[in-house]
Chains A and B, each alone.
Chain A
Amino acid sequence: MPEPEKQMELLQGTLDLLILKAVSLGPLHGYGVLLRIQQISGQTLVIQQGSLYPALYRLEHQGVIASEWGESDNNRKAKFYSLTVAGKLRLSEETEKWNRMSVLMGTILLAQPEEA
């Protein structure tokens, strides 16, 4: 596994959003989701691999992703996850929320002490 220079721990509650984004680009198996996230983030995000699968199951349970068994690159059976219609809605809503939140956080953190 390539060692990146600077790694960041995942913020709490963001794993679901990352998974949704990852599978929105095309169906992926569990390991593929992991690789895709690391790839997009430029290898800076550390994901607890143990928590990846419970998250996938949770999202599938909620009906925002669907799974199907298929062939993986190494010609083995693998479970592929893809975004459902409800998932697309959820992704857009979560993205919007995230954007608002990050703008808000930025504004708050830039605030200067007011001169009396």
Chain B
Amino acid sequence: MKRLRLVLARLTAQPGSWFRAMTHRSKLESDMEAELANHIELLTADLIRAGQTPAEARRNAALSLGSPVAAKDAMRQSLGLRLWDDLAADLRYGARILLRSPGFTAIAVLSLALAIGANTTIFSLAKQVLYDRLAVPNPGNLRMLHWVGDGKEVVSSMWGDFDPGVNGTTNSSVFSYPVYLQLRAANQSLQDLLAFKEDSMNATVRGNAKRVNAAMVSGNYFAELQVPAQLGRTIQPTDDAQPGQGAVAVLSDLLWQRDFDRSPNVLGQTLKLNQAIVTIVGVAPRGFTGAKNVQTSPDLFIPLSLQPVVSPKGQNQTLLDDSGLWWLNVEGRLKPGVSNEQAQAALDVQLAAAIRATITPKAGQTLPHLVLQEGSRGLHSTDGTFRKPIYVLITFTGLVLLLACANVANLLLARGARRQREMSVRLAMGAGRARIVRQFLTESLMMAALGGSGGLLLAFLGRNILPGLLANAWDDNSLRVPFDWGVFAFTAGITVVTGLLFGLAPAWVTGRTDAGRTLQETSKTSSRRRKGFAGRAIVVFQVSLSTLLVVAAGLFLRTVVALNSVDVGFEPDHLLLFDISPPAKRYPAGQDVLLQARIERAIAAIPGVEHVSPGWVPYMASSMSNATFDPEGEPRRPKSAEDMNAVGNDFFATMHIRMVAGRDFGPQDTATSAKVAIINQSLARSRFLHGNPIGKRFQTDDGANAPWITIIGICADTRYMNLRDEPPPQFFLPFIQQKEIGTMVYQVRSQLPVDSLIPPLRRTVAAIDPDLPLVDIRTQQQQIDANMQMERTFAALTAGFGLLALCLACVGIYGVMAYSVTNRTNEIGIRLALGALPKQVLAMILREATWISLAGIVVGLGAALLLARLVKSMLYGLQPTDPVSLITGAALLVVVGIGASWLPARRAASIQPMEALRHE
């Protein structure tokens, strides 16, 4: 007990005492002075009283107290000030050293700033895309409901995400509304289940028609997510009570800012959503992105009860009593004390019961099994796309940082060698080795801190560049990368690690300095000493890292070149694309086909428009549509779906796709004429093994009385979803012969500049329906570029990093060769005096640099061969062992090696023997 009280008393007393001493430093100094003086005075007086003469007494008094400087030093140490004083001295000294060679400092700090900045930028992106969680309280106990089927599951029709898994299994996260209601009623293991569906809709906000992403949510959505409104109220269970009722909307913070300028008067205003009028009742908090993902937020939230009104689908326009279509995302919070396994097992049983209660399974159909997945990051939909590229980028920037470290370590080592005398003198005068190592580390950390600050600044300035690179040219709803404390902590962390990393080697070498030997040693010692070995090893390391980065950059650059030279099979220039989505409520099946035909005719009449054709699927947009393709008289296949497109009659002329045989669609093909189709060459080859397909018939719908469609022509192959995949088999149907058509993408061929083409297009469409926005206006070329966005971003980033790596290698080689030449001035002088030609000296230095480079290049190429296999899936048109990239990278490094050592070599060759021999 007593001990504890003593320890406590000490713990509370010391910080206070230290703080007082720190803040009243000058008073402390004068107090110490006065106290010691007082002591001497009293002692002197006593000695005089004891019979000594005043002079003798003063001398003896001073002697018995000892050195007042040492005493005061010890007193300061007693107060814990010593460490701080030393640190301050180290910092002052370090600052002086850094300022003395501004060029050196600038190069080191700049390279560190670039490397740390790159790392911070990539980290902030990675953190946001891969690690950040939903901005709701306790995201960790959110569980998203998924199901896994064996491929024969009872679920036949889905609207939403599903992955075909291995062995024909299906993995999905969508449920039908009736199943959701049953699950919600039966569920005991999770808290109340909430449901949502994000979908894009046409909105007219303050007179502007635009495309928005709306989330239809269950009435308990905000309550269960524990998200309050920042203005007004959130959506309540009462809003969601009656199908077709509850015409209210909660805006996202972004929409509120963009369209309402954060005005509180927004409450009570209305907006048109797919022709339905909804009243704004609240604004969701800033940072809330909905339950589906972390990156982007829906623009607005409406109750699920509005689905039949704003987004009618299915046979009766409503999905709220449709058991066939599965479309709804469902999640809930884990109840305290219930394990994930227990909840999953209980819900699995309840799911089976819910399905049986809503659907009657046919023979052979199976029930899917319920799987609970962590919901703290929503559906994780971006993980698959971005995980690998981001890991590659993290590796890349990590290597660049390592390279920068090696560079600074190398420079420090060379300079440390020059400072050996200083160190020897300090050691000889009694400085501790630990003290000197600490001094060196302080300098390194100061430099790292400068670099880190610079890097943070660079990353802050460039924080929007990356999202910009990753976004579509026509999309303003881009990824937002926040700059927060996590990013700051990361930067601070890598800064310290960096400082230690590049400071340790020079500090170690210097700490081993032998005072006596270095002081005796002069620069006359002309043998090649082992001292230079560390520097050379670092340069080899630098060159190998640079080789690796340059080769990788080469692979990604050549991937872009290969993609750019892909022949897509149609003419992408002078093609403008935009989408038109007629809301199903105003344009039910049949009406939408007529509307699109009307718009097509109106656009074709605009002066300057050469051709126009709507289509179901835009090309190179990662979209696809497929349908059953069963030709008459050919063997039936189990999986007979083929890629298809429904197009306007002018489609092939618009796209400049060549007809190979038969005839094109024409004015004779109308809604009522005989049903026709055109197939491409691949489809002709793969499905018509017995002769000419023209004139043959096929069915696309199931059922015996599905209409027969006659093939009238064969067209050339084109790429479809993306640039990477070979042209797939496709067939084309006139959209005018479809029963319903929905959203179509218009392809307009015109020589007019885009800017003067868009206004008449808008006017034309607005004249037909002012509430129909032209969505995602982009050129076909932009669409293609967007499709290879990832590859292009990668090429740009890796090329940038590769260039940085080259620069760093350049500085490294130059530094080590310049140092070597300075060290060997005597030796070179002697060689020259003995008859060596300057040319030979030049060659000698260049040879040395080349050997160092070659060693690094060999190591780097080896590493590149090993690592490139990991990015195979990100390459196109070349192998990871692409000889062009490897050879070019190696050649580049050889050139850089020779180039960087050229100056030192020239200097060596121009050494005057006499001066060199006098050189001390």
Give chain A's interface residues, CB within 8 Å of chain B. Answer: 1-2, 29-31, 48-51, 53-55, 57-58, 60-64, 72, 74, 76-79, 85-86, 89-90, 93
Contacts and interface: CB of A to CB of B under 8 A. Distances in A.
Contacts of A55: 78
B6 to A, nearest CB: 6
Contacts of A60: 17
A57 B20 CA distance: 13
A89 B71 CA distance: 28
Pick the 9 closest A-B CB pairs, nearest first: A63-B13, A50-B66, A86-B9, A54-B74, A57-B78, A58-B78, A31-B42, A57-B75, A61-B17
12 contacts: A31-B39, A50-B66, A53-B71, A53-B75, A54-B71, A54-B74, A57-B75, A74-B45, A79-B38, A86-B6, A90-B6, A93-B3
B65 interface: yes
Contacts of A61: 13-14, 17-18, 78-80
Nearest to A87: B9
Given A53-B35, A54-B77, 17 more contacts: A29-B38, A31-B39, A50-B65, A53-B39, A53-B71, A54-B71, A54-B74, A55-B78, A57-B75, A57-B78, A61-B18, A63-B9, A63-B13, A74-B42, A79-B31, A89-B9, A93-B2
B704 interface: no
**Which of A51, A63, A74 has its CB near the most chain B CB atoms (within 10 A)?**
A63
A90 B5 CA distance: 10
Contacts of A29: 35, 38
A38 B32 CA distance: 23
B75 A30 contact: no
A6 to B, nearest CB: 19
Interface residues of B, number: 38
Contact of A77 (B2, B34, B79): B34
Contacts of B71: 50, 53-54
Given A50-B70, A76-B38, A63 B12 contact: yes
Nearest to A48: B66
Contacts of B74: 50-51, 53-54
Per DSSP, chain B at the interface is helix
A2 B79 CA distance: 34
B909 to A, nearest CB: 62
B50 A31 contact: no
Contacts of B77: 54
B43 interface: yes
A29 B70 CA distance: 20
A89 B13 CA distance: 15
B3 to A, nearest CB: 8
Contacts of A64: 9
Contacts of B79: 57, 61
Contacts of B60: 1
Nearest to B52: A1
B67 interface: yes
Contacts of B34: 77, 79
B527 interface: no
Given A50-B71, A51-B74, A57-B78, A63 B38 contact: no
A50 B67 contact: yes
A30 B694 CA distance: 116
A93 B3 CA distance: 8
Contacts of A49: 39, 43, 64-66
A89 B42 contact: no
**Which of A53, A57, A64, A86 has its CB near the most chain B CB atoms (within 10 A)?**
A57
